[in-house]
């Protein structure tokens, strides 16, 4: 479903991704871990289509299409969704208005009828219920004045509404207390589907207790330096990254 091969990307002239290759099949959940600054968010942003990041080498296909050729909105319409590590605040625009517009753009691109305000409201209610967000958040400006945890939950709400084929969750667990983490993880698990793939970027095993991944990868200095099953995350939790770094240095 997603094929990343030898991906190199620069930010402001500095190479951050130095040859990432990763294959994600339909329905799989992959966790990407790795020390701060190793390029995890960069990878997520490149996949989502952020033009601040310049791809210099390699390629990405998604559902058989060349993802890198497409502007971000087309990727979203094709089913790519990224939950931001740092979601922006959008003054003056309500969550409901924002999400209805996004969903309808995606629906239109698939030749589906747009939802009117009533239909959308019902859908949004149900999704808010699912991720345990207060219905009043529908009318609040997107992320404005939300707490860190509320912003993360709002990202999951958006994912629930937009129903992507590939969800990239960039540290959606960071900054959540235990209850919020459980709610978010429950929400994500409800969205697990044989047709939906996920990439979870995380620093913490505790997320992976709830959302059990099929594969775990370690990204270090712009490369995937180790891959394994869910046990790799436990090992990292226990031993830290030093042994991976050492392996990398001697390799």
Partner 1 sequence: MVEVAERIDDKAHYLGDLGRVKSSSPEWINALRRDACARFESLDFPHKRMEEWRFTNVAPIVRTRFRSTLEPAAHGLTAADLVGLAYGVPEWSELVFVDGFYSPDLSRVQPGVRAGSLSDALAGDAETLRPYLNRYLNGSGSAFTALNTAFMLDGAYVSVAKERAVEAPIHLLYITTGLNAETASHPRNLIVLERHASATVIESYASLAVDVTYFTNAATEIAVGEGARLEYIKMLNEGTNGYHLATTRVHQDRDSSFRSFAIVQGGRIARNELGVVLDGEGASASLNGLYMTGGEQLVDNATSIEHAKPHCTSWIGYKGVLDDKSHAVFSGKIMVQRNAQKTDSNQLNQNMVLSDKATIDTKPLLEIFADDVKCTHGATVGRPPKELVFYFQTRGMSEAMALGMLTYGFADEVVNQIEVEPVRARLEKFVYTKYSPIPG
Ligand X SMILES: Nc1ncnc2c1ncn2[C@@H]1O[C@H](COP(=O)(O)OP(=O)(O)OP(=O)(O)O)[C@@H](O)[C@H]1O
By CB under 5 A, name the binding residues for Mg ion: 40-41, 85
Q: What distance in Å separates the CA atoms of residue 151 and residue 227, rounded to the nearest whole number?
A: 30
**Residue in 39, 58, 79, 187 binding ligand X, rule: CB under 6 A:** 39
Report, in Å, the least distance between residue 175 CB and ligand X: 12
Q: Does 37 bind ligand X (CB under 6 A)?
A: yes
162's contact among Mg ion, partner 1, ligand X, none, with CB below 5 to 8 A by partner kind, is partner 1
Q: Which is nearer to ligand X, 160 or 168 (CB)?
A: 168
Report, in Å, the least distance between residue 87 CB and partner 1: 7
Beta bridge partners of 59: 5
Q: Which is nearer to ligand X, 86 or 243 (CB)?
A: 86
**Residue in 46, 106, 176, 200 binding partner 1, rule: CB under 8 A:** 106
Q: Which is nearer to ligand X, 104 or 174 (CB)?
A: 174
Q: What distance in Å separates the CA atoms of residue 5 and residue 125, rounded to the nearest whole number?
A: 40
Report, in Å, the least distance between residue 230 CB and partner 1: 28
Candidates 36-44, 132-140, 160-168, 192-200; binding stretch for ligand X (CB under 6 A): 36-44
One character per residue 66-95, x = contact with partner 1 (rule: CB under 8 A): -----xxx-xxx--xxx-x--xx-xxxx--
Q: Does 141 bind partner 1 (CB under 8 A)?
A: yes
Q: Which residue has the tokens 């924002």?
A: 98
16's contact among Mg ion, ligand X, partner 1, none, with CB below 5 to 8 A by partner kind, is ligand X
Q: Does 191 bind partner 1 (CB under 8 A)?
A: no
The 10 Å CB-count burial string (b at 16+, else e) for 40-53 is bbbbbbbbbbeeeb
Q: Which residue has the tokens 């990307």?
A: 9
Identify residues 60-89 at the interface with ligand X (CB under 6 A).
85
Q: Which is nearer to ligand X, 85 or 154 (CB)?
A: 85
3-state secondary structure the chain: CEEEEEEEEEECCEEEEEEEEEEECCCCEEEEECCCCCCHHHHHHHHHCCCCEEEEEEEEEECCEEHHHCCHHHHHHHCEEEECCCCCCCCCCEHHHHHHHHHHHHHHHCCCCCCCHHHHHHHHHHHHHHCCCCHHHHHCECCCCCCHHHHHHHHHHHHHHHCCCEEEEECCCCCCCHHHHHHHHHHHHHCCECCEEEEEECCCHHHHHHCCCCEEEEEECCEEEEEECHHHHHHHHHHCCHHHHHHHHHC
Q: Does 63 bind partner 1 (CB under 8 A)?
A: no
Q: Which is nearer to ligand X, 44 or 181 (CB)?
A: 44
What is the contact surface with partner 1 in residues (CB under 8 A)? Answer: 48-52, 71-73, 75-77, 80-82, 84, 87-88, 90-93, 97-106, 109, 141, 158, 162
């Amino acid at each position: 479903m997603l094929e990343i091969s030898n991906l190199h990307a620069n930010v402001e002239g500095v190479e951050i991704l130095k040859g990432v290759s990763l294959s994600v099949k339909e329905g799989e959940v992959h966790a990407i871990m790795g020390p701060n600054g190793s390029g995890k968010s960069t990878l997520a942003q490149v996949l989502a289509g952020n033009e601040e990041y310049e791809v210099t080498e390699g390629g990405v296909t998604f559902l058989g299409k060349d993802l890198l050729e497409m502007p971000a909105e087309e990727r979203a319409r094709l089913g790519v969704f990224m939950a931001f590590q740092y979601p922006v605040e959008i003054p003056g625009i309500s969550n409901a208005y924002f999400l209805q517009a996004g969903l309808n753009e995606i629906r239109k691109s698939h030749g589906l009828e747009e939802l009117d305000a009533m239909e959308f409201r019902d859908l949004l209610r149900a999704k808010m219920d699912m991720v345990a967000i207060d219905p009043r958040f529908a009318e609040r400006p997107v992320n404005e004045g939300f707490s860190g945890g509320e912003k993360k939950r709002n990202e999951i709400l958006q994912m629930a509404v937009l129903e992507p084929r590939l969800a990239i969750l960039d540290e959606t667990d960071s900054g959540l207390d235990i209850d919020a983490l459980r709610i978010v993880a429950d929400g994500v698990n409800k969205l697990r589907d044989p047709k939906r793939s996920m990439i979870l970027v995380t620093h913490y095993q505790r997320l992976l207790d709830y959302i059990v991944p099929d594969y775990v990868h370690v990204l270090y200095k712009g490369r995937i330096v180790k891959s394994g099953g869910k046990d790799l995350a436990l090992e990292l939790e226990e031993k830290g990254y030093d042994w991976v770094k050492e392996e990398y240095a001697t390799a």
